[in-house]
Amino acid sequence: IQSSLREELLSWASDPGLTMDERKRMVRQLLAQWHPDKNRHMSNIATYIFQWIQEEVNRIVASLQGASEDSTRKEAEYQQR
């Protein structure tokens, strides 16, 4: 489950055709799908997956921000030359 969810999240993050609002909506829908209150029959698994999705989204956002900061820094260094 995790690998397929990770692939889905990464594809959304790297899709240039999606706006940030669309990406956020898709993540909210995915979180709603796995919310423990909506999956009482498997609440332990749903809780684990729900929390994992939140952590994975935070990790992807942090890595994208880091890549963006590196790109900005490199561009500034290039312009100084």
d(CA 28, CA 77): 38
The pLDDT of residue 68:
67
- H or E element, residue 15: none
Q: What is the pLDDT along the chain (81 residues), one digit of tens a residue?
A: 999 999 999 999 999 999 999 999 999 999 999 999 999 999 999 999 999 999 999 999 999 888 766 666 666 666 666
Looking at residue 17, the DSSP 8-state letter turns out to be T
The pLDDT of residue 49:
97
The pLDDT of residue 51:
98
Residue type, 5: L
d(CA 26, CA 57): 11
Query: pTM for this one?
Result: 0.80
* Closest to 8 (Cα-Cα) out of 44, 40, 56, 61: 56
